[in-house]
Chains A and B, each alone.
Chain A
Amino acid sequence: MTTRELTLALREDDAGSPRFTAALAGERGPGIVVIHEWWGLNDELRAQCARFAAEGFVALAPDLYDRPATTDPAEALARASALRTEDATERVARCVRELRGRGAPKVGVTGFCLGGAMAFAAAASVEGLSAAVPFYGNARADYMVAERMRCPIQAHFAEGDPFARAEPAVGLARDVRAAGGRMDLFFYEAKHAFMRESDPDAYHEPSATLAWERAIAFLHAELG
């Protein structure tokens, strides 16, 4: 299964609205917004969209940078750190509306690294989300607040990951549960970016397989 590119107006009712690109995979089913790593919208992320589509979801991945993906870590860091969370979640919200408009009965959000952070931020700020599955990322501090979370969360972290520290998510899960919400938290004996199949140094097949199975089961349970 392949993806195809969409061009979306950020605000549907505004002819002068900025536009952005998103990769779409799947035709019918519950929706999932898939948010890229700090590299940008690359082939790895498109492949993840196709995998979600193969599981019965309609996957839509916004390009948060408006630029081709990079493979240079310094450039990726520059892009990721310059990105305003509010701008990213505005695009996620637009993708949620797009998926609902395409018939998705429910929509979830997932993401990896930077995308994991933005998945948390979306769970805290985007209307219409029914589930969030962040992978090894933490949103800005003011988003990682239990009272702001709008949907059940299943988060995945690598143990000892120096880039996506577990502490904020551990505290968030405690507070979400105390408030009666649901947040499942899983840890893996793997490195940061263990889901990145195209990167032999980071990819950890046993962890990636287990995390994927958990994520798909959770998303089917929450989104149908």
Chain B
Amino acid sequence: MTRSASAVLAAALFACACEAGGDTDAAQPPQPERGPGGSDYVHGSATITRYGAPLGDAAAYWLIEPAEPTPAQAPVLVYMHGWSAFEPEDGYEAMLVHLARKGFVIVFPYQGGPLDRSRWEGSSRQAVQRALDELARGAHPRPDGHLAIAGHSVGAALALRMAAPGEPAIPTPELVVLHDAAGRRAFADLLSEGGALARVPPTVALLVMQAQTSGPGEANEPDSFSPEAWEGTAHLTRRNFLRSYGDRHGTPVLVSNHNGCRSGTSARPLDAHDHFACWRPTEGALREAQGAAFPGYSALCAGPGPECDPVRDHGVWGDGVPVRRLANAADLGL
């Protein structure tokens, strides 16, 4: 045996911005003070609560809810974790707490474990059902009728599947956000099974976000589900494809890889990539799908013109040099 699973997958799961030194000492742009991805929080904190026991309950889930103050109503985001993840602390908590403090209730389903993939979608749907029941009955912000589904890696592919009608039934989301959907080499038919993509209702908006490098090994486009997700959803009228890039101009350098949106851990501290390439488009798209877009910002702006520059913007290094911008669908020739 010449290849080590632990080495290969550890590289994929915990790839970090280890190359700290860039071309200059210019600092990364700070988190925006306002707007999508910004620090203008309307809630002082977020609560994280587990419902059900993942060790004995495949349909367990976590709720991440806005607090201080607790709103009477809130939009709901379902977030699907990547393969082998277990709980929000596995690199998702910072982003999800950010979104909760902006007013969203997040449902984080436990998908049932890394094995028996045929059960992942069903377990997740069941967990979402339970979570929506809990939100409707318990001491929580009541769902305000807006629902979105996002996910990372293979969880992103599952998120798109869950936007199509299926069993157990869950409400159709207004929006699906894919954070570096990958896993194609291992789960080649995951998106195509049952004609799922064609069955996603045309009312659903879609934001496909792809890192510069994607999947185990970080250099294998064939592992990405993003092109298939894009090609299979041409019937959706509101969609965009965003690609982020690394930038070595300043220090620490910015890395755009498979776990670019899975940060806030000792292995991968938060950085400007989170704020500009993950949190901002995601939060912007969520608000846009609710009909409450941030003024002047459209995450779904897919055209070539300057009106889409806000979604391309990645901030400015400390010496005034712009960070390499995101590319949208038009920039990528899609």
Chain A residues engaging chain B, CB cutoff 8 angstroms: 38-39, 42, 44, 71-78, 80-85, 113-114, 117, 138-142, 144-145, 162-163, 165, 167-169, 171-172, 191-193, 196, 198-199, 201-202
A contacts with B: majority SS: loop
Of A39, A84, A144, A171, the residue contacting B118 (CB under 8 A) is A84
In the complex, chain A residues whose CB is within 8 Å of the CB of B186: 74-75, 77-78, 81
- Beta-carbon contact of A201 and B6 below 8 Å: yes
Known contacts A38-B5, A168-B54; A74 and B223 CB within 8 A of each other: yes
Assess whether B216 is in contact with A141, with CB atoms less than 8 Å apart. no
Contact residues, B171-226 vs A (CB, 8 A): 185-188, 216, 223
Q: How far is the CB of A198 from chain B (nearest CB, A)?
A: 5
Could you say which residues of chain B place their CB within 8 Å of the CB of A198? Answer: 1
Flag whether B55 is at the interface (Cβ < 8 A). yes
B86 CB-CB contact with A under 8 Å: yes
**Measured between C-beta atoms, what is the minimum distance from B130 to chain A in Å?**
14
**Contact between chains at B115 and A167 (CB < 8 Å):** no
Given A168-B54, A168-B55, A199-B4, CB of A141 within 8 Å of CB of B113: yes
Determine the distance from Cα of A71 to Cα of B7 in the docked complex, in whole angstroms: 13
Interface CB pairs A-B, < 8 A, 24:
A42-B1, A44-B1, A73-B3, A75-B186, A76-B5, A78-B186, A82-B117, A85-B115, A139-B115, A141-B56, A141-B58, A142-B56, A144-B55, A145-B55, A145-B56, A162-B13, A163-B6, A163-B84, A165-B86, A192-B5, A196-B1, A198-B1, A199-B1, A202-B7
Contact A71 to B116, CB < 8 A, known contacts A77-B186, A142-B58, A171-B53: no
Chain B interface size, under 10 / 10 to 19 / 20 to 34 / 35 or more: 35 or more
| Contact B187 A201, beta carbon cutoff 8 Å | no
Contact A141 B84 (CB under 8 A): no
Judged by a CB distance under 8 angstroms, whether B14 is at the interface is yes
Decide yes or no whether B2 CB sits under 8 A from chain A: yes
Which residue, B1, B3, B8, has most C-beta atoms of chain A within 10 A?
B1
Give the A-binding residues of B (Cβ under 8 A): 1-10, 13-14, 53-58, 60, 83-84, 86, 110, 112-119, 185-188, 216, 223
CB neighbours (8 Å) of A80 from chain B are 114-115
Whether B5 contacts A140 by the Cβ 8 Å rule is no
Q: Is the interface of B mostly helix, strand, loop or mixed?
A: loop
Is the beta-carbon distance between B60 and A191 smaller than 8 angstroms? no
**B223 contact set on A, CB distance < 8 A:** 74
Known: A140-B116, A162-B14, A171-B53. 16 other contacts (CB 8 A): A74-B216, A77-B186, A78-B187, A80-B115, A81-B114, A83-B116, A84-B116, A117-B115, A138-B55, A140-B113, A141-B56, A141-B57, A163-B114, A167-B54, A193-B6, A199-B4
B185 touches A141 (CB 8 A): no
Which A residues are in CB contact (< 8 Å) with B188? 78
A169 and chain B: residue at smallest CB distance? B55
How far does the Cβ of B87 sit from chain A's closest Cβ, in whole Å?
8
- Complex: chain A residue closest to B86, CB-CB: A165
Q: A219: shortest Cβ distance to chain B, in Å?
A: 25
Q: Is the CB of A81 within 8 A of B117?
A: yes
- The answer to whether B55 touches A167 (Cβ under 8 A) is yes
- Chain B residue, CB-CB nearest to A191: B6
B58-A73 in contact (CB<8A) = no
Chain A nearest CB from B149 CB (Å) reads 21
Chain B residues contacting A202 (CB-CB under 8 Å) are 4-7
What's the minimum C-beta distance from B49 to chain A, rounded to whole angstroms?
Answer: 16
| Chain A residues in 8 Å Cβ range of B60 | 141
- Residues of B contacting A140 in the complex (Cβ-Cβ under 8 angstroms): 58, 112-113, 115-116, 119
Q: B85's closest neighbor in chain A, by CB? A: A162
A39 with B115: CB separation less than 8 A: no
Q: Of A83, A165, A201, which contacts B115 at CB under 8 A?
A: A83
Question: Please, how many angstroms separate the alpha-carbon atoms of A202 and B114 in the complex?
Answer: 20
- Inside 8 A of B187's CB, which chain A residues have their CB? 78, 81
Q: Quick check: B9 and A73 within 8 Å, CB to CB?
A: yes
Inter-chain CA distance A202–B5, complex, in Å, is 9
* Residue contact A81 to B116, C-beta cutoff 8 Å: yes
A192 to B265, CA, bound (A): 20
Set B3, B56, B112, B118: member contacting A82, Cβ < 8 A:
B118
Q: How far is the CB of A56 from chain B (nearest CB, A)?
A: 28
A81 touches B115 (CB 8 A): yes
CB distance from A181 to the nearest CB of B (A): 15
Q: CB distance B185 to A201 under 8 Å?
A: no
In contact, B54 and A162 (Cβ under 8 angstroms): no
Q: Do A141 and B112 have beta carbons less than 8 Å apart?
A: yes
Partner of B4, one of A142, A172, A201: A201
Closest chain-A Cβ to B313's Cβ sits at a distance in Å of: 34
Whether the Cβ atoms of A78 and B113 lie closer than 8 Å is no
- The CA-CA distance from A140 to B59 in the complex, in Å, is 11
Residues of A contacting B10 in the complex (Cβ-Cβ under 8 angstroms): 162
Contacts of B112 in A (CB 8 A): 140-141
Query: Once the chains are docked, how many angstroms separate the CA of A5 from the CA of B13?
Result: 37
Q: For residue B2, give the distance in angstroms from its CB to the closest CB of chain A.
A: 6
